A and B are shown apart, each in its own frame.
Chain A
Amino acid sequence: MRKSFSSPLASVFVIAVTVLWTIPTFGLLATSLRPKQDVTDSGWWEVFAHPQLILSNYHTVLFEGGFGVSGGLMPYLVNSLAISIPATVFPLVIAAMAAYALAWVRFKGSDTVFFVIFALQVVPLQMALIPLLQLFSGGAHLGGVTVLPSLDLHGTYAPVWLAHTMFALPLATFLLHNFISQLPRDLMEAAVVDGASHFKIFRSIVLPLCTPALASFAIFEFLWVWNDLLVALTFAGGTPEVAPMTVRLAQLSGSFGGRWELLTAGAFLSLIVPLIVFFGLQRYFVRGLLAGSVKG
């Protein structure tokens, strides 16, 4: 097999696919660096004939706008960060705690709880969106009794953080449980004998030992939130106060006529963070992705 497949034809095929896979992104980057007039007058491939590159498109989209709307993308870029970081930390910590309890503070029914959390992975986000949005805006009522008052969270990040945290928990708990339950029993028992409480064990033994698993999941979850459109669109709305880059770019892509030098710059800005993570932390990225590929 090795021989018959290693023909020059095979190499040509792989190289052709690689080029085909890279060109669209390269075209986006090239366009974002060209002056407006060049972008309207000629295709980006002419950049090789007239290599005039500028950065001012980036300044324009970040701070001035120019999409026929005032205001740039800077607030949205900040929102993406401000949403992604807490929405990574919250589920990570809560899931690690739950995983520890299910693995080491076992009680009657803990297997059942674990199985239910595990099974919740089959629920697609779409199934939870409408009721959760109604809950955030109107509170919960059972037979005329207010169980939960309406929370005035509108215009804050809180609904987006909460929704992402909730949706991340089944997968996070499951993955971290796999890891935490594998910790050496002797070590845990020795700590109990020494009189350490569960809280102390969790902080000084479990968390440090789980760093690789936590890092993999953190990278996966961060990119998941950063790249998400559905949850953000539903819970953040479209305002510059809360909405992240994905929401804004989806809006601009629809309402936008001909300013490709700006749209490409905006799109590339949203790609920079994932691409840095991808090329810088590829090993963790792959591990996190493979573990998390069936999320929500």
Chain B
Amino acid sequence: MSGHEPVALPVSSMLADSAWTDATVKLGNSFGAIAGFLGILLVVFFAAGRARGRLGRPLAILVFLGPAVLLLIVGLVAPLIRTVYLSFYNDDSTRFLGGRNYGWALTTGSIHQVLLNTLLWLLVAPLAATGLGLVLALLVDRMKRQAVYKSLIFMPMAVSLVGASIIWKFVYEARDTSQHQIGLLSQLAISLGWSHPPNWMLSHPLNNFLLMAVMIWVQTGFAMVVLSAAIKAIPDEVTEAARLDGARGVQLFWYVTVPMIRTTLVVVLTTVMITTLKAFDIVRTMTGGNFGTQVLANEMYSQSFVQFNVGRGSALAVILFLAVLPLVAYNIVQLRKERETR
């Protein structure tokens, strides 16, 4: 824990004991906070519930809506404005720089690499995940025990990107070829006849694609599940009619299935794009942004919270915002439209 325990003590049960005490205190605090929160609400509800007449309605609005509105203003609206403001200033926000932080972002060589990588991620990972998801959705529905396959392919979506990164870092682990390999990829390369496979994480530009593979691994199941539901929702009459007209196999797929699920396809693609643009976990965990693998979301984090270049970090955050804005806006409108018609 805090490093004060005498390391020489062989009694690991003592460490375990203090860990359990620590756990009890912490979880006690958490449940205490929840109890306190609900307790306050109960008191407020009780007090405000007694108000009658003209005061009743405004009071109800204030109590019900007030907390959410206040938290949103403090937590999202004001910070949003302030980040835009900070992006025009220097790092301790004392000197107005105009657009110089943006100029830095668009003209610095190392940032060019970052923007290029981000663009590459944005094109490759979503297209691969959606394409593979679509193929799987088409194929899996005709198989026995499809629920098992679907579950297993969908499973990576449940785990954290940090966890996924460690899983894959282990797959990519490379050792000197004189030793036994413990990483699956190196072993596979060797058994396929590649006698000296490289250290994967250090090989630019290959390493970028190996990192993207993690995102594809996570998102393919999501694409498959959503697209499979969309395909099942195509009315039988439509496919029957096309079949009577002589459409078969691939033709039926391109001219009937794909157009019928086009909206869902675009929603899935943009959803994965948004996740890809904002995800910094994979790059941060696997390479730390080194070896030419840096992306925008992680560069933003490093500038802001590692190097404390608040102005530049804010400018990068604004660029990220502008990049996801059209995607998110489109996505939300589509999803909500779909929900309303359902």
Contact = CB atoms under 8 A, between A and B. Distances in A.
Indicate whether A and B interact: yes
Contacts of A275: 155, 158-159
Interface string A221-258: 00100111110011000001000001001100110000
Interface in A82-105: 82-83, 85-86, 89-90, 93-95, 97-98, 100-102, 105
A284 interface: no
A274 B80 contact: no
A202 B63 CA distance: 12
B153 A290 contact: no
Contacts of B244: none
Contacts of A217: none
Contacts of B57: 105, 107
Interface in B1-29: 1-3, 5, 7, 12, 15-16, 19, 22-23, 26-27, 29
A293 interface: yes
A157 B158 CA distance: 24
A145 interface: no
A286 to B, nearest CB: 6
B332 A122 contact: yes
Contacts of A166: 71-72, 74-76
B281 A250 contact: yes
Contact of B60 (A18, A25, A64, A198): A198
B215 interface: no
B26 A82 contact: yes
A216 interface: no
B165 A86 contact: no
Contacts of A81: 27, 30
A122 B182 CA distance: 43
A22 interface: yes
A129 B170 contact: no
A289 B157 contact: yes
A72 B19 contact: yes
Given A63-B16, A227-B161, A294-B335, A157 B80 contact: no
A150 interface: no
A85 B31 CA distance: 8
Contacts of A94: 67-68, 71
A203 B285 CA distance: 44
Interface in B302-318: 304-305, 310, 313-314, 317-318
Given A75-B22, A122-B328, A253-B285, A90 B149 contact: no
A203 B16 CA distance: 42
A279 B151 CA distance: 8
Contacts of A260: 170, 173, 182
B324 to A, nearest CB: 6
Interface residues of B, number: 126
Contacts, number: 353
A218 interface: no
B321 interface: yes
A70 interface: yes
Contact of A157 (B29, B72, B280): B29
Contacts of B160: 226-229, 246, 270-271, 274
B29 A100 contact: no
A162 B67 CA distance: 12
Nearest to B150: A18
A44 B167 CA distance: 13
A193 to B, nearest CB: 15
A101 to B, nearest CB: 4
B268 to A, nearest CB: 9
B96 interface: no
A71 interface: yes
B90 to A, nearest CB: 14
Interface of B: 1-3, 5, 7, 12, 15-16, 19, 22-23, 26-27, 29-31, 33-34, 37-38, 41, 45-46, 48-49, 56-57, 60-61, 63-65, 67-69, 71-72, 74-80, 82-83, 86, 132, 135-136, 138-140, 142-143, 148-149, 151-153, 155-163, 165-171, 173, 180-184, 187, 217, 220-222, 225-226, 239, 243, 248-250, 252-253, 257, 271, 274, 278, 280-281, 284-286, 288, 297, 300-301, 304-305, 310, 313-314, 317-318, 320-321, 324-325, 328-329, 331-332, 335, 339
B332 A90 contact: no
Given A5-B139, A105-B57, A97 B64 contact: yes
Given A124-B278, A249-B166, A71 B1 contact: yes
Contacts of B314: 130
Given A72-B15, A127-B321, A250-B165, 8 more contacts: A1-B243, A14-B143, A24-B168, A43-B184, A123-B76, A124-B320, A132-B75, A260-B170
Query: Which 9 pairs from chain A and chain B are nearest by CB?
Result: A166-B75, A227-B160, A101-B64, A98-B68, A4-B249, A278-B158, A131-B79, A128-B79, A131-B82
A82 B24 CA distance: 10
Contact of A294 (B7, B15, B318, B331): B331
Contacts of B132: 17
A129 B287 CA distance: 23
A78 interface: yes
Interface in A46-65: 59, 62-64
